[in-house]
Amino acid sequence: MVYISNAQDASKLVVAMVESARGGGTLAAKRGEADDDAAVVVLDLWRQPKIPAPFVWPRADVALPSSPTRELDVPVVDLAAALRDAAGMRRAVAQVAAACASHGFFQVSGHGVPPSLARAALDGAAGFFRLPLAAKQRARRAPGTVTGYTAAHADRFVSNLPWKETLSFGHRHANAAGNNNSSVADYFSSTLGDSFKHLGEVYQEYCEAMEEVTKTIMAVLGESLGVGGGGGYYREFFEDSSSIMRCNYYPPCPEPERTLGTGPHCDPSALTVLLQDGDVDGLQVLVGGAWRPVRPEPGAFVVNIGDTFMALTNGRYKSCLHRAVVHREQERRSLAFFLCPREDRVVRPPAGAGERRLYPDFTWADLMRFTQRHYRADTRTLDAFARWLRPPACSGAATAAGPPTATQAATV
């Protein structure tokens, strides 16, 4: 493991890693360390006087036409009203259908999550990210996994690094096989120690609240797509979900115009439910060639469609490109709950979703493996994944070819 708190040293190290890879060798071999450990570069973002070279993004990503004063028109859907009566559901369905037809983003109020729980979850994240770097590294994310702590995803990439720290952990639905209803709390205790047990219990409760919120959202989405009965197909599909919770921290940045907190991408998950802390904006959505900010609505969650739900609708509802920007003097925190199916569930749209299938059948485990080990999520993730699943000779087929072979995976 390599700890870096100097911008010049960070740039030199990453350049050495890239040059070593081009030459067929590894930095680990030159330094006499294990490959998986030497590849981890830890940057203490609090201490950077200027941006290290690996954090500088291409101008095409950071300098696209932007309308900072023209916010994205994101409807606020009242979930309580949708559950209360038919008129409330009709209004919610109309709002969601319009949003998903244009950009895939909407906000939800009346969700039933106590403000005190949301505040405790945000404050817990703030406390974790204030810990010394060595303490946070006790939860270091292992290569190829989605859980744990990482600074700038330096464990995965050597360029276009995001200016952020994250802590991610899994959450299994209460109905999922083998779930003891304390998986999140157990993760915090076993990874960070007994002193973090209470924080784990807070996030356990928060994730369970997110389960209920996403159930209602799925009911509304199902109705908007003409799948009646309370959106039965989509609700049932996620009844034994295996989701991901992520705490994000975006420190102040000396050169915010040259980097990003999160690069342009579409979420591979089914839905993302985002809680933003306070009125510090950062989320931007690409609509009509311009990056449009999404202003946090007090007490509401921001929801967006992901690639998995796009596949479940056979492309009717599309995931949308978005990013997170950073600020020179303001820090920003957010909590993202990524609704994902059970790992072995086969993702396919309901009958009648379209005569021609746009995507092959796949499992969430395959898509997660693809995005964690072979592909950096962007606007073309699902199309690239479909090609990865299908043998070249069958690229026009409408059915899946099964999991990729070792040869296929090696060529991605």
> Could you list the active site residues?
332
| Residue 141 near residue 148, CB atoms below 8 Å | yes
Amino acid letter, residue 165: E
Task: Report H helices in 227-331.
Answer: 228-237, 307-312
Q: Which residue has the tokens 């999404």?
A: 294
| Residue 97 near residue 224, CB atoms below 8 Å | yes
Give SS3 for 262: strand
Distance from C-alpha of 319 to C-alpha of 379, rounded to nearest angstrom = 8
Helix H, strand E, coil C: the string for 362-390 is EEHHHHHHHHHHCCCCCCCHHHHHHHHHC
Give SS3 for 82: helix
Phi-psi region of 294 (alpha: psi -120 to 50; beta: other; left: phi over 0): beta
Give SS3 for 282: coil
Q: How many CB atoms lie within 10 A of CB 206?
A: 23
Distance from C-alpha of 91 to C-alpha of 89, rounded to nearest angstrom = 5
Give SS3 for 242: strand
The encoded tokens of residue 239 equal 């009844």
What's the CA angle centered on 236, arms 231 and 239, to 5 degrees? 130
